[in-house]
Amino acid sequence: MKDNVAEEHLYLDFSHQDRDGIFPLHTSISLFLLSYCDCKLFKVFLVPTSEDVDDQFVIKNLLCDLEVHLISRCQLPAVVQSCCLPAVVVKDGKFCRAGLSVVLRHIIQKTYEEDPSKTDVVELLGFKKTCLKACAEVSQWTRLCEISIPLAVAGFLKASPEHCQTIPPDILLLERKLGEPVRVHNDDKIRRQKLQQQKTGAKSAMPALGKEAREEGKTVEIQEHPLPSLELSIAFSKLLVQERSDVVNREASHIRRTKTSDLPPLDHIFAEGLYFTLADVVLLPCIHQFLASSKKQGKNLVNLPLISSWYQRVQEVPGVKRAAGKCNMKLLQLPQLMSAPKEQLQDLSSVSGELEEENQDSPFIGGPRPTMTKLMENGIGAKFSPHPCPNWTLDWSSLPSAVNPGEGKMSRDRALRKQQQLNNLVAVVTKLAKPGDVIVDFCSGGGHVGIVLAHMMPSCQVVLIENKELSLIHAKDRSDELGLNNIGFIQANLDYFNGTFNIGVALHACGVATDMVIEHCIKAQAAFVVSPCCYGFIQNTVKFKYPQSHQFKEILSYKEHMILCRFADQTAVQLPPERRLIGKQCMGIVDLDRAWAAEEHNYSVQVVSMEPESCSPKNNMLVGIPA
C-alpha cells in the first residue's frame, strides 16, 4: 500500500461458513470481488452475527491470502454502527461508505487507482462507470441484483426441502431479463453487423492469443473454436484484451438501408448485456449457491436455460475460476439445457410483478382540474400553515466562507436563493433541536444544510447521508476547512442507514426520496423538516404506493394522483402565472397527502411555504413532530 494512502477498514457481517461459501451472501460477494481484483488495500474485519463463532477456524479457513480479523458489533466505529454492512471507513475517520453496491464500486475504484494497469477491473463499472450506481430505491435492476436475488437465494437455502420445490420468483425474473433484447451504446452498428452475418452465414472464431495465453502468471492453452454469435465474439475479444478484428466487412448497402426496427436484437452474453460487469460479480456467488443446492436436491433446471448458460459462460472469464477457488467456491459444470417450452416461457413473462405492470400502464393523460375538482367536492384542497419563523435569517456576512454556499460555483442570484432556502430549514431545525440531539441531513449533496447546522449548533451531532461520492467528498473538504468535530459522513443509499437520531432534514429530496426520508424519521420517532422536489418523478415502488393517506386513497386512483404529481412540477418562473399557480396548488395537494399519511403514525405535520416564495420554484416544507 502506498505510504500516502490512508488505511481503510472493510467491515463484513459473518453468520456461518460451509464448504461452498461464506454467509451472508453480501459478505461472500465482497470477498469474491476482493479475490477477483487481487486487492489487498483494505484491512478486513468480520463482524459475527452470533457469539458462537470459532475465531481461529474462521481466520484459518476463510481465504488463504487475505488477512482477516474478527470484531464484535459493539467495537465498530460509531459511524459504522449506524449503517448496514458491508461498510468501509478510513481508519480513525468519520467518512463511511455503506451498502453492497457502494462498497463494491469503491473496491474497484481503489484497486484501479493503486494499479492503473488493471483495466479489466475498472471495466467492471460498465459504460460510463454506471453499473449498479443507481440506488436500489429507484432502480429495479440494482434492487434485483443487490437485494432481491441475495434475499431470494438465502431464503431458498434456509427452507426445508419440502418448502423449496418451486424456483424463487426473483430467480425467474432474472431468467426473463436474460432473455430480453440487449440495449447497449452503439447497438445499432452491432445489430447491422449481426444482420449481415446472418445474411452471409458468416461464422467468426473466438479471438485467440495464438495457441497459448498468459493468465494469472501461468501458461494456459486456448483452443480456437467457432462462436455461435457475434455477441460472443465481441464480449470475449474485450475480455482477452484484444482488438477485435472485423467480424464482417463494411455493411452492404441493403444492410445500411435496413430500418432500425427491422434489425435483429442482441442476445445477452452477461447479466447486463455484452460485457462482463460488476452485476455478474454480484450474481455469481448467489446463483452458484442456488444451483449447488438445487443440484444436491436433484432439481431439474429446465426452466432456467439462460441462467445455466450464463453461469457456464462466466466461468470462462479470465480470473473468475482463480477467485472462486480462493473463496472455496467449487464451480459446477452443468449440462447444456434446451430452452424451456413456449408455454413455460410465457409463464415467466408474468413474473415481473405488480410494480412493473403498474408503472408501465397507459400514460397519464389529461390536466389536473378534474382531479382537483373531485378533491374539492370532498372538501380537500391545498392547505398551507403559517411559517413558524418567517423573518428569521442567518447573518451570512459574518459566517466563514466554507459555510456560505455562495463560495462555490453558483451565480450571485442562485447563491442568494440558496441562502434563503437554508434560512428556512435552519430556522425550523434550530427551534426544534436540543443540546445533544443527533441531526441527520438526508440527501445532503455538497452539505449546504448539514454544514450550516454543524457550525451553528456545536452541541449537536450532525450526520450527512448522500449516495454521490464526489458531492460528499466536497462536503467533507468544507467541514475539514472549518475544523468541525461534530459531523460525520455516510455515502450510502437511504435503506442502508439504520442509526438513531432526533431530527431529520432534507433540502429538495427528489421524488420518492422525500417519502423515504419521512419514513426513516417515523421509524426513529424523529422530527422532520423536509423540502420536496421533482414531484414528477414520484411513482409506485416496492415500498411506496400512491396516494399514501387513507383519505386520498378513498377518493383518488393512482393515475389521478400521478397527474397531480406531474403538474406539481409546473412551477418554473418562465411559465405563465396561471400555470405556476396551478402547479403550486398541486404541490400543496401532493404534500397534504404526505402530511396526512404521517399523521396516521401519530405525527403533527404542517405544510409551510418558504419565505420568500421566490427562493425556489419548489418552496414547500413539511414540518413533522412526533406526538
User: Which pLDDT tens digit goes with each residue over 254-266?
Assistant: 666 667 666 777 7
Q: Quick one: pLDDT at residue 251?
A: 65
How sure is the predictor about 447, in pLDDT bands with cuts at 50, 70 and 90? very high
Report d(CA 623, CA 527) in Å as an integer.
8
First-to-last alpha carbon distance for the chain, in angstroms, is: 52
**pLDDT above 70 for 225:** no
Mean pLDDT of 96-125: 95
- In this structure, how many other beta carbons lie within 10 angstroms of the beta carbon of residue 27? 25
Report d(CA 358, CA 350) in Å as an integer.
13
Residues 6+ apart with CB under 8 A from 80: 11, 87, 89, 96, 98
Three-state DSSP at 88 gives: strand
List the single range of 113-117, 180-184, 251-255 with lowest mean pLDDT.
251-255
Q: Are 81 and 73 in contact (CB under 8 A)?
A: yes
Q: What are phi and psi of 273, to 5 degrees?
A: 145, -120
Please give the share of the chain, as a percent, with pLDDT higher than 70. Answer: 77
Mean pLDDT of 434-458: 95
Higher-pLDDT residue of 245 and 572 is 572
Report d(CA 13, CA 140) in Å as an integer.
25
Mean pLDDT, the chain, rounded, equals 84
List the single range of 174-183, 353-362, 535-544 with lowest mean pLDDT.
353-362
Higher-pLDDT residue of 191 and 11 is 11
Residues 6+ apart with CB under 8 A from 302: 337, 338, 340, 344
How sure is the predictor about 491, in pLDDT bands with cuts at 50, 70 and 90? very high
pLDDT in tens, 276-289: 999 999 999 999 99
List the single range of 237-246, 280-289, 474-483, 502-511 with lowest mean pLDDT.
237-246
**pLDDT above 60 for 347:** no
pLDDT in tens, 399-413: 998 998 876 567 888
Task: Kindly report the length of the chain.
Answer: 627
**pLDDT above 60 for 355:** no
List the single range of 170-174, 242-246, 546-550 with lowest mean pLDDT.
242-246
Q: Quick one: pLDDT at residue 90?
A: 86
Q: Quick one: pLDDT at residue 231?
A: 64
- Buried residues in 318-339 as b, exposed as e (16+ CB within 10 A): bbbbbbbebbbbebeebeebee
Q: What are phi and psi of 17, to 5 degrees?
A: -140, 140
Q: Quick one: pLDDT at residue 198?
A: 65
Report d(CA 63, CA 14) in Å as an integer.
14
Report d(CA 8, CA 587) in Å as an integer.
44
Q: Are 515 and 594 in contact (CB under 8 A)?
A: yes
Residues 6+ apart with CB under 8 A from 254: none
Report d(CA 195, CA 348) in Å as an integer.
28
Q: Under CATH, what is the fold of the domain 369-626?
A: Rossmann fold (3.40.50)
Report d(CA 52, CA 50) in Å as an integer.
6
Report d(CA 316, CA 304) in Å as an integer.
19
Peptide bond into 335 cis (omega under 30): no
Report d(CA 200, CA 532) in Å as an integer.
57
Q: Quick one: pLDDT at residue 343?
A: 46
Report d(CA 173, CA 234) in Å as an integer.
26
Higher-pLDDT residue of 357 and 402 is 402
**pLDDT above 90 for 526:** yes
Mean pLDDT of 486-491: 95
Q: Quick one: pLDDT at residue 375?
A: 94
Mean pLDDT of 22-43: 92
Residue corresponding to grid cell 411513482: 539
Three-state DSSP at 356 gives: helix
Q: Where are the chain's structural domains?
A: 8-178+276-355, 187-262, 369-626
Report d(CA 545, CA 532) in Å as an integer.
17
Report d(CA 566, CA 106) in Å as an integer.
36
> Of 555, 279, 573, 530, nearest to 547 (Cα)?
555
Report d(CA 419, CA 437) in Å as an integer.
24
Higher-pLDDT residue of 407 and 181 is 181
Three-state DSSP at 486 gives: coil
Q: Which amino acid is located at 299 in the chain?
A: K
Q: Quick one: pLDDT at residue 221?
A: 39
